[in-house]
Structure 1
């Protein structure tokens, strides 16, 4: 479990490094979460959700292009890059790191002229289900 949490922190650090913008981040760190309806004492997943804001949207767009180009160097396979299915058609990148069993969704939320909320890059990192070794329990 500690290894999966460490992997999540490493992956998020890689994303932050590629984004390379001086904005503010909201970041609570990787969290152990239940794995669907499976027994939470035995099965868990790791998630890390954060965002970056207080940067010009144009710079965030360039960061999304960098992510598309550089994530594969870190073992990520880009599954999709383009407008999402929302009404706003926000730019979205989805990727998988199959060897480590993690997936990533990064969305550029351009809220200019539509909301008082700041525009941001939203990052959602999640793992597959993992099982703790026999005789142990999930530690939150």
Structure 2
């Protein structure tokens, strides 16, 4: 990330690590609901990272990468259509939609929610076995409350 990108990461206010993780998990749950098809999510929880160009002792971001596997393999495309629609409502704005350079030319979506200071990226792995969606929710930069410590994970 270059210096110009740092200013694009919104400040999310002050929060404890637990509160920030909970906020990101709530957005991940919303994205799960947005898929609109039955399936299961991987169990990995959110992690903590430093905010590029900011004091690592005071500022942090929360990231939550997870995988969604529809119960029916053919539902990957349906889930992406639902996500394209839902990620343009309720404060969400679909910022980018493109096919990546992989041999499968996977469809990618990127959306931001300025009010929640969150971003989500979704990759459709429709040709994988089993077909799935790779999803990552990332927060803006939080400031840790005075007296608390950031443990990057």
TM-score bracket, shorter-length normalisation: 0.7 to 0.9
Q: Taking CA–CA contacts closer than 8 Å with sequence separation of 6 or more, which of the two structures ends up with the larger relative contact order?
A: 2
Partner of 2:136: 124
Over 3 Å counting, the alpha-carbon distance change for 1:85 and 1:99 in structure 2 is: farther
Aligned length: 136
Partner of 1:70: 86
Q: Secondary structure at the match of 1:81?
A: strand
What's the TM-score, normalizing by structure 1? Answer: 0.82
What's the TM-score, normalizing by structure 2? Answer: 0.76
- Could you tell me which runs of 5 or more consecutive residues in structure 2 were left unpaired when the two chains were aligned: 1-15
Which deviates further from its counterpart, 118-127 or 130-139? 130-139
CA-to-aligned-CA distance 1:62-96 (integer Å, 9 cap, x gap): 11111111123231110112322333210111001
> Contact 1:103–1:127 (CA<8 Å) still a contact in 2?
yes
> Contact 1:52–1:122 (CA<8 Å) still a contact in 2?
yes
- Could you tell me which runs of 5 or more consecutive residues in structure 1 were left unpaired when the two chains were aligned: none
After superposition, the CA RMSD in angstroms is 2.2
